[in-house]
Amino acid sequence: MKELVDSFEKQEIPLSIVVLDKDWHKRAYNKKEHLKTGFTFNDEYFKNPAAMINYLHGKSIRLGLSVDPTEGIYNIDNNYSEALKYLEEHDGKIPFNVYDPRFIDVYLKLFIHPLDEMGIDFFWLDFFDKDKLEEEALLKHYQFYDMMRDYKRRPMVLAKNTLIAPHRYPVLYSGKSVVSWETLKQIPKHNIMSFHNGANMWAHDIGGYFKGAEDSELYTRFVQLGCFSPILKFGADKGKYYKREPWRWDIKTYTIVKDYLNLRHKLIPYIYSEVYKYHKFGTPLIKPLYYTNPDLYDDVLYSNEYYFGGGLFVCPIITSKDYVMDRSVHNFYIPEGTWYDFVTGKKFPGGKNYISFFRDQEYPVFAKAGAIIQMRKNESINDTTPPTNMEIDIFPGKSNSYTLFEDDGESDLYRKDFYLLTEIEYNYLPNNYSVIIRAKEGKSGIIPEKRNYKIIFRNTKRTDDVKVYSNRDEISFKTYVDGPNFVVEVPDVNTIGQLTVNCKGKDIEIDAVHLINKEIEEIISDLQITTELKEKIDDILFGTLEIKKKRIEIRKLAKQGLDKKFIKMFLKLLEYIDQI
């Protein structure tokens, strides 16, 4: 396990949680290692559990353990003899009985609390029996509320849905899934449907859990969807050929997955604030497109699209790509308003459907006009506490404001007002725009006393007329251009106070409208065919001939050596050009 954790750190990939499956505890009973239940560390694997826990905590990693008391309690566990003072033994074990208050009291105090005292952060209730849902729901309830006895630790359990008030418990687990595209197709639908019963926080195993065949494209699309999902969790069955570690794939897959896993970690301030809204006001983290566009409720192309918080919109890719053009041909709908590709900044006027071609490293996530997206980057790669270095991406076109919520992330002191709300206000005019960041509510000491801000005005031209104030004092800053974005960096800003950044310029927005012809040019450029043929293909596709004659001219290129698979592909592309 240490080798795994060290590898994530060496590869500069964040890791914030480790969950140990049932092999963490003693399982051997009557010379057979078969028990699912157990509450004592297997000293063959973990000779010093306390040191292991301290090691993980020193790396800012939380530790969860799988537990399954439904098999009963056996004499292989510490405190078994003590438990016999209160409970009776049957057939060599203390049988599970969730309806017996004495059993629950003994189970929690003698078997769970000692693990708590060692520093275990949460438990994964790893059992499910559709005929015993009430028993499992009760145990989940007791386990969760027992954690509330300690204000220093926020209660957290991971468990399957027992169908009884699922919204009352932190994270639900969808169970062991097959490695397949079919599994990937189900996840957006599953997450969206969970919105209806108020249970937004679902965990799915990235890449699938077992069976199937490992596939780099499937793995990549799983990670990208997980990046913009409530919970991102890797998990796989035993076996050395399940590849969940990014560095076990080819360099292209590794690079893409690493970028998205780092992006996910950067997005924690935004996601955390959105989940706070869910907790405080019932505003869901995931909301289906059909809530704003009910006419698309049963549309097979668009029914799995969803809003991810207040600023982002996701159109999941759930099918394999066209391997000839090396792109995913994706048909998606953009809601009313103006939206921007979250990565490239391409502009999409809303209220219409689009066809686009996504390379493996691209994913259809869009930010609305005026969106304010907060991101983090701390010195410790795994750290999830309020950051010293904060990046704020702001998209043009509309004034907006956003309230950032921050607390310690682990205790229930937020109930006693130990939190901080920071308002970020963006005032947009085509020739004058400003950002005001000010502490709004809560207490000092929750976040760093000073913070380094990197404010990125997306799709915005450079201007030299910039002024920055801390409260009323003008302070130093740095500006530069990064692609289509204008960046203002302000160091050492007092977080309890007000920061004002004012910029003036003429026609500030870069109007990078999405153009399908440009994407088709990129497809042609990437193909392994001669440059002369590429020029001829370009002339045909984008020329003035009517569509029928274009098809004839494309087919004629077979005599000049154009492979049949490319002819078929270009005839397909003509259909898309004709639609536009």
Flag whether 61 is in a domain.
Answer: no
Sequence-distant (≥ 6) Cβ neighbours of residue 339 within 8 angstroms:
313, 347, 348, 350, 366, 367, 368, 369
Say if residue 419 is in the same domain as residue 387.
yes
State the pairing for strand pair 62-67/389-394: unpaired
Q: Copy the structure tokens of residue 123.
A: 């438990």
Residue 388 belongs to domain spanning: 376-504
Flag whether 349 is in a domain.
Answer: no
Say if residue 446 is in the same domain as residue 525.
no
Flag whether 91 is in a domain.
Answer: no
Say if residue 486 is in the same domain as residue 528.
no
The answer to whether the Cα torsion of 265, 268, 274, 277 is positive or negative is: positive
Flag whether 32 is in a domain.
Answer: no
d(CA 155, CA 116) in angstroms, rounded, equals 11
Q: Copy the structure tokens of residue 9.
A: 């750190």
Contact 398, 427 (CB under 8 A): no
The CB-based long-range contact list for 300-306 (8 Å cut-off, 24+ gap) reads 301/331, 301/332, 301/333, 301/353, 302/332, 302/333, 302/353, 303/189, 303/192, 304/188, 304/189, 304/192, 305/188, 305/332, 305/333, 306/188, 306/191, 306/192
Sequence-distant (≥ 6) Cβ neighbours of residue 502 within 8 angstroms:
432, 433, 434, 466, 467, 468, 469
Flag whether 489 is in a domain.
Answer: yes
- Cβ burial 356-378 (10 Å sphere, 16+ → b, else e): bbbbbebbbbbbbbbbbbbbbbb
Query: Which residue's entry shows tokens 């004629």?
Result: 556
pTM of the predicted model as reported, rounded to 2 decimal places: 0.94
Contact 460, 431 (CB under 8 A): no
Where a domain ends, among 504, 523, 550?
Answer: 504
DSSP 41: B
How far CA 149 is from CA of 83, 114, 118, 140, 411, in Å, comes to 22, 14, 16, 15, 11
Give residue 373's identity as a one-letter amino acid code. I
**How many structural domains is the chain composed of?**
2
- Cβ burial 458-491 (10 Å sphere, 16+ → b, else e): bbbeebeebebeeeeeeeebebeeeebbbbbbbe
Say if residue 445 is in the same domain as residue 390.
yes
Say if residue 405 is in the same domain as residue 451.
yes
Which helix (H) or strand (E) segment is 579 a member of? helix 564-579
Flag whether 548 is in a domain.
Answer: yes
Say if residue 472 is in the same domain as residue 437.
yes
Say if residue 454 is in the same domain as residue 530.
no
Say if residue 469 is in the same domain as residue 567.
no
Where a domain ends, among 504, 526, 543?
Answer: 504
Where a domain ends, among 504, 535, 551?
Answer: 504
Say if residue 385 is in the same domain as residue 499.
yes
Say if residue 386 is in the same domain as residue 496.
yes
Q: Copy the structure tokens of residue 319.
A: 């099918």
d(CA 312, CA 340) in angstroms, rounded, equals 9
Flag whether 252 is in a domain.
Answer: no
Say if residue 392 is in the same domain as residue 472.
yes
Say if residue 433 is in the same domain as residue 519.
no
Among residues 412, 408, 224, 210, the alpha carbon closest in space to that of 315 is found at 224
pLDDT tens, N- to C-terminus, the chain (580 residues): 999 999 999 999 999 999 999 999 999 988 777 899 999 999 999 999 999 999 999 999 999 999 999 999 999 999 999 999 999 999 889 999 999 999 999 999 999 999 999 999 999 999 888 899 999 999 999 999 999 988 788 899 999 999 888 888 889 999 999 999 999 999 999 999 888 888 889 999 999 999 999 999 999 999 999 999 999 999 999 999 999 999 999 999 999 999 999 999 999 999 999 999 999 998 999 999 999 999 998 888 899 999 999 999 999 999 999 999 999 999 999 999 999 999 999 999 999 999 999 999 999 999 999 999 999 987 789 999 999 999 999 999 999 999 999 999 999 899 889 999 999 999 999 889 999 999 999 998 999 999 999 999 999 999 999 999 999 999 999 999 999 999 999 999 999 999 999 999 888 888 888 778 889 999 999 999 999 999 999 999 988 899 899 999 999 999 999 999 999 999 988 887 755 4
**Where residue 457 sits, what CATH number does that domain have?**
2.60.40.1180
